Structure 1
């Protein structure tokens, strides 16, 4: 069985503009959290089974863009597997605040960044 998309993220050098753009375009609700640097969790309004997301500020050069997060059961195993298939580990397993679990990021052989979430 395949692994589901669990989360999406938009990272921008002007996250407030990006939050307003997507909010106004798709009628999404964006709850920005000042304690998280203005990162905003997104409620698409599409129901409880919808994939949630976030829109936040760029933290380092090259991290802007749209990223999907795939739900996995073992971050390290999937990072190792990505590397074996020609990908590159970018962000090691990292704890998220609260009870949101952990995440990691790799680049596929074309340089597309993909997140993992456990």
Structure 2
């Protein structure tokens, strides 16, 4: 049994236009995305630090963006409002604005990315 405190170990967000998706997530997250080709897949790493949960945007055969599949929440930083504010300018759309979860669990929001995926953001403020 793993001793990691994280429920998620790795996630992949499917994309159909890698360059468009990379530009979207770089704009929204405010940081560069390292790209790597791994066999038939092109991956853009959203996080890879030793203390972070790893994840990537992925272009590969059979990977289809969806608004109704698994919902991944990205770290919205200290306050998800600035990150969420960049979504529409980057080509996405906000579907759930910053919302208080209550009971001290912080805030969440949802957006649709340029590929058609529903993605969440979470922050404590």
Bin the TM-score by the shorter chain.
0.3 to 0.5
* Higher helix fraction (1 or 2): 1
TM-score under structure 2 length normalisation: 0.45
TM-score under structure 1 length normalisation: 0.47
